[in-house]
Structure 1
Amino acid sequence: MLKQRFITGIILAPLVIAGFVLLDSLWFAVMVGAIVSLAAWEWARLAGITAQVGRVAYAGLVALLLIGLYLASWPPYLLWLSLLWWLLALVLVLQYPEGRALRAGLLPLAYGLAVLLPAWAGLVWLRAQNGGLWLLLAAVVMVWAADIGAYFAGKSLGKRKLMPRVSPGKTLEGLLGGVLLTQLLAVGAMLYLNWSASSILAGMLGTLVVVLFSVVGDLTESLFKREQGLKDSSNLLPGHGGIMDRIDSLTAAIPLFALGWFLFGSLLG
């Protein structure tokens, strides 16, 4: 398993990094759209669709919607809708396993659109901004740091389960460790950039919100995997599970980070 994880990472990481650095505008949107469409194929399984034709059809629908959004120069309210969705997702996670009416029928398929479309939109919008690569790097590092801090704090100090009915491995101490590490990194970066004191406070608050919702993104995917009795979203990435298993936190963090920068980016620094 470790060997598979290593080989997969060695192959994919340079390709994704090269795409983020070298591709611009249309081709960047196409690359991210391809990844999101594959994630949609996985989400269909999390939503209860087991037939391959149904999963492919759902992925095709998502791809068509992404094309439509790109051609329409998607409006910012898509990011506001993402905020509303992740607030609802928080309710789903906190209520689980109750609240079955909110997970019945076609609702999980609609939730998949709310997870994936704004994530794509946020990435494309951030990449198009001045310093877009640095903004993307900041958002991704924020999530990675939260994961790393949570892992080591949870391993060494973890005693109190965070949401045992959804994800038994997560602890409150791990959550706090992830928050602490991201705050330290964020403050260090903002001091290096000579941000004002008020901007640093706003940046710390924004970092906290994004990190907390990245955890909600992780827990939301865990919830739907648990509903379907799945360990991984798929086996597309040998040793890593599926694409959704790699981007679940980012699907929440990216659109909320983009929304924050859309609203307040010009005031910071």
Structure 2
Amino acid sequence: MALKVGDIGIRAASAVVLAPAAVLATWAGGVWFLALILIACALLAVEWAMMSAPGAWRMMTGAVALGLFAAVVTAHVGQLSLALVLLVFGAGAAGVFARSRGQEALNAAYGVLYLGWPAVLLIWLRDDHSPIGLNWTVLVFAVAWASDILAYLVGSAVGGPKLWPRFSPNKTWSGFIGGLAAGMIAGAGMAHWLEMGRLNILWGAVLGLAAALATMAGDLWESGLKRRFGVKDAGNLIPGHGGLMDRVDGLMFAVVVVALGRWLVILLERAA
């Protein structure tokens, strides 16, 4: 595949506009980070509803967003376990509501869980009560963004055999390998430069590799979802990227892996 300079320019311009707001809100933490996640949840709920229930997307947006908001706000006040329970109940409630309106219950319920898990775990990672909560959040963004960008650049420049042409015809094995390498380097770099508890450079590289693999998997998973719903993009919010879901699909999976990594580090510190 030839390197599309114009497409890269549009993607870069979109990133220049949107990335600073996300970075500033992440750095500030507190209600600013909460506001960022809630806005993202609202936009993602719209995109999910328009993909999965285009004939009743306004009603389904409300049902999915309500479940997301309840779980995210609960996580923000430090009740992670309750937030996860609310996420499950929110998924069930959204499914019941969807069925009562003649829509697919499973689509609505899955939307709450699919979008909600990474949102809740991002709130937990940022943890304003921890002096290194920001560092863990920077780690997940750095790994996901590095692997996503390098996968696109290497795949566009090198080309070669397709990774999974049935679901994502543009992705290549060269891009996949480039993305994994970038994630591993980003993970090692963050572990070296930032205070991450007992996470050293070696384990930072391992975590970065695992999170990069999750990023690639998240991208492919969303491609499969879009194919199922018969859409090319999740939306058209971001020029050069499609919808917000198209931009954060890999990040959503990477968050789960990094959160698991942080949880293991916490267990090690308590056992020491």
Normalised to the residue count of structure 2, the TM-score between the two structures is 0.75
SS of equivalent residue, structure 1 residue 241: coil
- What are the residue-to-residue correspondences of 1:123-134 with 2, within 5 Å? 123-128=122-127, 129-134=130-135
**1:75 alignment counterpart:** 81
Whether 1:53 and 2:55 are equivalent positions in the alignment is no
Deviations 1:154-206 (A, max 9, x none): 23333221111111111122111111222233334445569999944433322
Gaps of 5+ in 1: 83-103
Deviations 1:76-110 (A, max 9, x none): 9949x99xxxxxxxxxxxxxxxxxxxxx9432322
Q: 1:16 aligns with which of 22, 26, 46?
A: 22
Whether 1:66 and 2:72 are equivalent positions in the alignment is yes
Paired-residue identity, %? 33
What is the CA distance between 1:6 and its match in structure 2?
A: 5.9
Gaps of 5+ in 2: 1-5, 89-102
Report if the CA contact (8 A) 1:44-1:58 is conserved: no
Specify the code of the residue in structure 2 equivalent to 1:150. A
Cα 1:192–1:53 shift into 2, 3 Å: closer
Q: 1:42 aligns with which of 47, 61, 77?
A: 47
Cα 1:123–1:193 shift into 2, 3 Å: closer
**1:114 alignment counterpart:** 113
What is the CA distance between 1:142 and its match in structure 2?
A: 0.5
Deviations 1:192-236 (A, max 9, x none): 569999944433322222111111111121111112221221122
Cα 1:109–1:175 shift into 2, 3 Å: same
Report if the CA contact (8 A) 1:119-1:255 is conserved: yes
- What are the residue-to-residue correspondences of 1:93-242 with 2, within 5 Å? 105-128=104-127, 129-191=130-192, 199-242=200-243
**1:97 alignment counterpart:** none
Report if the CA contact (8 A) 1:161-1:171 is conserved: yes
Distance, in Å, in 2 between the alignment partners of 1:60 and 1:146 is 29
Cα 1:17–1:212 shift into 2, 3 Å: same
Deviations 1:212-267 (A, max 9, x none): 11111111211111122212211223443211111111111112211210222564
**1:90 alignment counterpart:** none
Report if the CA contact (8 A) 2:41-2:119 is conserved: yes
Distance, in Å, in 2 between the alignment partners of 1:40 and 1:118 is 13
Specify the code of the residue in structure 2 equivalent to 1:52. W
Q: 1:31 aligns with which of 32, 36, 40?
A: 36
Using CA pairs under 8 Å that are at least 6 residues apart, name the structure with larger relative contact order, 1 or 2. 1
SS of equivalent residue, structure 2 residue 81: coil
Greater shift, 252-261 or 229-238, is seen at: 229-238
Report if the CA contact (8 A) 1:25-1:124 is conserved: no
Q: What RMSD in Å do the two structures reach over aligned CA positions?
A: 3.4
Deviations 1:88-147 (A, max 9, x none): xxxxxxxxxxxxxxxx94323222222211211121111113222222111111011112
Specify the code of the residue in structure 2 equivalent to 1:223. G
- What are the residue-to-residue correspondences of 1:85-100 with 2, within 5 Å? none
Whether 1:263 and 2:264 are equivalent positions in the alignment is yes
What is the CA distance between 1:71 and its match in structure 2?
A: 5.4
SS of equivalent residue, structure 2 residue 124: helix
Distance, in Å, in 1 between the alignment partners of 2:197 and 2:48 is 42
Count of matched residue pairs: 245
